[in-house]
Structure 1
């Protein structure tokens, strides 16, 4: 990445930056020369020393305010905001299994964390006349799985629509807004899921991967994306090399979505 993407002097906040795609984004932006702040409920032991860290729960308004305030105080402002944090703990069982508390939790994690941080940090970008916001959505907003990811998919669909509207408002003020929509990504959590499914089915890890890919209708590439591949795409999109890109979505799913 170094030499191809130059982010020297850029200040970045990456949510969900201690594991999975978020961690890969943090490492990619640091390698490109950016100063990076991130957060989680607790600090992991293996966080790179160069990362500014604040302990905060981004599912709450207070946690988002704490991260935004930390970034402003520590780095004097933000040029890049990458909203990666997300996920789902909703139970299976379809729509009738999702109570109000579950819907609120899914929306707080997958929509409102980004909305609150944008509200705190984007005004500084528009005042300075430059900045980039990345919202990590999901192909689930196009391919929802009713058994287990209905609320997550709906929240990501809301994030995608909100992101498009935000881009129309702030792009004329110098701030680009771009969506990145991953399919299945081989994070540590995804590896554990494949291993568990493989054990249940009496097969190996590749067999567990195939179970997941089949549940998605197949992945033409034949494998999930890797966190570093998603991070490289994001590093390009936040860089000056992507200066004319805003208001659109980049899908990185190995061809999973079967339609145009």
Structure 2
């Protein structure tokens, strides 16, 4: 391993924001270990270290970290991006304990477990952690009640880790996206499709109206590459005293919050 080699671990890397983060880090010169429950051809084309992992399982985040340590000798950056939720149409009263635990395990405990496993190497290398949260941590919606509550915990965890380990050279920051134009919005039955159907339109002809409907001042959804660019910036250490921050990229959606 050369001294200049920088190693990143990215969770939830198979598509959408996670895939964009892997691509941006590879372009920036990182060796990337990319973990996802489904390893897509797109992520395999970017890195030979694409690992199938069910990150809701207690041992899986540490297994992914061990792969990075065994294969590459250390970790400079951990990006906790993986998330999962259960959102029955009926809202809160339809969410049983199993649904809550699923959301908590995938979105929060995977973060805790990966960070705990990577922390010794991150401290040794004076590295960085970037957690991907959501504006729904601050602006919860009834149909996203579980994910909103758990993302609030993710944001709080980042601030707590920044406080505890900042004096030892670790930088921990959070990115909180608003609506991002991924297959979450474009898939059949997704929120974009549902809003279009309520308006009696097809999504393709309706999508230009969506940003205004969800309150985006810019009139545009964020692109996954924008989130990825922010990850690369935070990882760079160009603003070395930034730690414990929660950076919102939401097109002005939370301007009144």
| TM-score, scaled to structure 2 | 0.91
Residue 49 of structure 1: CA displacement? 4.4
The C-alpha deviation readout for 1:71-120, integer Å capped at 9, x for no partner, is 11111111000111113232132321111111101111111111110000
User: Corresponding residue for 1:198?
Assistant: 196
Unaligned runs of 5+ in 1: 1-7
User: Corresponding residue for 1:232?
Assistant: 229
SS of structure 2 residue aligned to 1:251? strand
Residue 18 of structure 1: CA displacement? 1.3
Residue 251 of structure 1: CA displacement? 0.2
The match for 1:29 among 25, 28, 40 is 25
Q: Is the 8 A contact 2:11 2:80 kept in 1?
A: yes
Residue 162 of structure 1: CA displacement? 1.2
Rounded to whole Å, the distance in 2 between the matches of 1:55 and 1:119 is 20
Rounded to whole Å, the distance in 2 between the matches of 1:212 and 1:29 is 28
Residue 41 of structure 1: CA displacement? 2.1
User: Corresponding residue for 1:207?
Assistant: 206
Rounded to whole Å, the distance in 2 between the matches of 1:142 and 1:152 is 11
Residue 62 of structure 1: CA displacement? 1.7
The C-alpha deviation readout for 1:181-220, integer Å capped at 9, x for no partner, is 0000001221223245425533242524535752x3x111
Matched, 1:44 2:40: yes
Unaligned runs of 5+ in 2: none
Rounded to whole Å, the distance in 1 between the matches of 2:17 and 2:10 is 10
Rounded to whole Å, the distance in 1 between the matches of 2:208 and 2:82 is 24
SS of structure 1 residue aligned to 2:47? coil
Q: Is the 8 A contact 1:197 1:208 kept in 2?
A: no
User: Corresponding residue for 1:20?
Assistant: 16
User: Corresponding residue for 1:156?
Assistant: 151
User: Corresponding residue for 2:137?
Assistant: 141
Q: Is the 8 A contact 2:131 2:154 kept in 1?
A: yes
Residue 55 of structure 1: CA displacement? 1.2
Matched, 1:178 2:173: yes
User: Corresponding residue for 2:112?
Assistant: 115
Rounded to whole Å, the distance in 1 between the matches of 2:141 and 2:208 is 17
Residue 158 of structure 1: CA displacement? 0.7
User: Corresponding residue for 1:106?
Assistant: 103
Residue 42 of structure 1: CA displacement? 3.4
Q: Is the 8 A contact 2:13 2:36 kept in 1?
A: yes
Rounded to whole Å, the distance in 2 between the matches of 1:100 and 1:49 is 38
Q: Provide the alpha-carbon RMSD of the alignment.
A: 1.8
Rounded to whole Å, the distance in 2 between the matches of 1:176 and 1:206 is 43
SS of structure 2 residue aligned to 1:61? coil
Rounded to whole Å, the distance in 2 between the matches of 1:29 and 1:248 is 20
Equivalenced residues, count: 249
